[in-house]
Amino acid sequence: MATRKIVKISSSSGIPLIGSIAFGLIDRGTNLIQVRPISTCPLSCIFCSTDAGPKSRRKAEYIVEEEYLIREFERVVKFKGDDDIEAHIDTVGDPLTYKDLPKLVGDIREIPEVKVISIQTHGALLTDNLIKNLEKAGVDRINLSIDSLEEGKARYLSGSQWLKIDKIIKAAKTIAESAIDLLVAPVWVPGINDEEIPKIIEFALSIGAGKRWPPLGIQKYELYKRGRNAGVKPMSWKKFYEALKNWEKEFGVKLVLGPEDFGIHYSRQIKVPFSVGETVYVDIIAPGMRADEALGRARNRTITVINASNIPVGSQVRVRVIRNRHNIIVGLPVYES
Instruction: For residue 183, give Cα distances in angstroms to 16, 88, 170, 176.
Output: 32, 13, 15, 9
Task: Determine contact, residues 40/97, Cβ cutoff 8 Å.
Answer: yes
Which amino acid, one-letter code, is at 134?
L
**Model confidence pLDDT, tens digit, residues 198-254:** 999 999 999 999 999 999 999 999 999 889 999 999 999 999 999 999 999 999 999
Task: Determine contact, residues 11/71, Cβ cutoff 8 Å.
Answer: yes
> Mean pLDDT across the chain, nearest whole number?
97
pTM of the full structure: 0.96
Instruction: For residue 282, give Cα distances in angstroms to 24, 93, 310.
Output: 19, 27, 15
Q: Which long-range contacts (CB under 8 A, 24 or more apart) does 293-298 make?
A: 295/15, 295/20, 296/331, 297/14, 297/15, 297/16, 298/274
Q: Where are the beta strands (DSSP E) in 137-180?
A: 141-144
Distance CA(22)–CA(292), nearest Å, equals: 15
Residues 6+ apart with CB under 8 A from 260: none
Instruction: For residue 3, give Cα distances in angstroms to 61, 80, 120, 301.
Output: 11, 40, 27, 27
Q: In the prediction, which pLDDT does 337 show?
A: 57
Ranges of CATH 3.20.20.70 domains, the chain: 5-262
Residues 6+ apart with CB under 8 A from 206: none
Place 3 in a pLDDT band, splitting at 50, 70 and 90. Answer: confident
Distance CA(21)–CA(42), nearest Å, equals: 19
**Domain spanning 279-333: CATH superfamily:** Nucleic acid-binding proteins (2.40.50.140)
Angle at alpha carbon of residue 284, lines to 282 and 289, rounded to 5°: 120
Among the listed residues 254, 252, 319, 245, the one whose alpha carbon sits nearest the alpha carbon of residue 288: 319
Residues 6+ apart with CB under 8 A from 136: 102
Distance CA(58)–CA(35), nearest Å, equals: 21
**Domain spanning 5-262: CATH superfamily:** Aldolase class I (3.20.20.70)
Instruction: For residue 274, give Cα distances in angstroms to 14, 155, 244, 281, 299.
Output: 19, 43, 40, 12, 9
Q: In the prediction, which pLDDT does 1 show?
A: 45
Tell me the pairing of strands 85-89 and 114-121.
parallel
| Percentage of the chain exceeding pLDDT 70 | 99
Residues 6+ apart with CB under 8 A from 195: none
Distance CA(270)–CA(30), nearest Å, equals: 10
Which amino acid, one-letter code, is at 108?
I
**Model confidence pLDDT, tens digit, residues 72-97:** 999 999 999 999 999 999 999 999 99
Task: Determine contact, residues 102/135, Cβ cutoff 8 Å.
Answer: no
**Model confidence pLDDT, tens digit, residues 110-164:** 999 999 999 999 999 999 999 999 999 999 999 999 999 999 999 999 999 999 9
